[in-house]
Structure 1
């Protein structure tokens, strides 16, 4: 490698950033240093966040929904392409109101995240999941009543 060439991170480097993100999220540790100052984050039913202060607010809002959350890291599926990493997996935990969920035992808890990681920082994160972890939205989805 010549001095002018840049280091190209591997898929394993990107996975390490994502795993660190999930571990910090699950343990309530600060995760903002994993994000670029101008990061863009989308979570369902929340205003998209751009920049570290809005990202902080988004995760504070989301964190208030839970007393615990666990991403089942050993069972994550990864797809990588350049700066992009797609992570699919399962969660379990307890909502702030005491409702427990466990993917595979309840309908909530399945997710897919799309990360764009550049220079070891998360530049873009789109979180795809059903935010109705407790299957409480029976008004719009009557099959949940049975």
Structure 2
């Protein structure tokens, strides 16, 4: 891990996080036409439920390709994001999304227990994402219901 060279404020960290989230909505391409991986430090770590922890850009690229191959489209609802700033390099973003998974569409709140609500915990330094843990239900189409007796499906 490189030594910290630049001081960033919360709004600058937030801008990096938003660029990262928007790149997902744009098929992994940033607003400047680069790869989403360009936003990550070389030794970054990304956690995704049911995939695990990816370390370094090569593994992270595999994680994104694996998960991305199951998602036809995704749109994050930027107007409804909640941001939490720690006063350190850590920034938390809670939000909602909708889109289409290979198993079917999803939208936050439809049904109330379904996919679409998520929370990302970022560590951002030197204009690069050092770490992001993604917390969400990866059952986008809501098919994994038989294991949860409180879910009543019609």
TM-score normalised by length of structure 1: 0.91
TM-fit CA distance, 1:117 = 0.3
2:121 to 114, 128, 140: 114
Q: Deviations over 1:108-131 (max 9, x none)?
A: 100000000010100010000011
Check conservation: 2:44, 2:131, Cα contact below 8 A: yes
Check conservation: 2:6, 2:125, Cα contact below 8 A: no
> Which residue pairs with 1:126 in the alignment?
133
Alignment partner of 1:70: what SS?
strand
1:48 to 39, 47, 53: 53
Structure 1 window deviating more from structure 2 (99-108 vs 53-62): it is: 99-108
**Runs of 4 or more consecutive aligned structure 1 residues displaced over 6 Å after TM superposition:** none
Are residues 137 and 144 of structure 1, via their aligned partners in 2, closer, same or farther at CA, if it must alter by over 3 Å? farther
Between the aligned partners of 1:138 and 1:96, the Cα distance in structure 2 is 17
TM-fit CA distance, 1:138 = 1.6
Number of aligned positions between the proteins: 140
Between the aligned partners of 1:47 and 1:19, the Cα distance in structure 2 is 23
Check conservation: 1:77, 1:88, Cα contact below 8 A: yes
User: What is the aligned-residue RMSD (CA, Å)?
Assistant: 1.2
Unaligned ranges ≥5, structure 1: 1-5
Between the aligned partners of 1:61 and 1:145, the Cα distance in structure 2 is 28
> Which residue pairs with 2:96 in the alignment?
90
Check conservation: 1:135, 1:144, Cα contact below 8 A: no
Between the aligned partners of 1:144 and 1:64, the Cα distance in structure 2 is 29
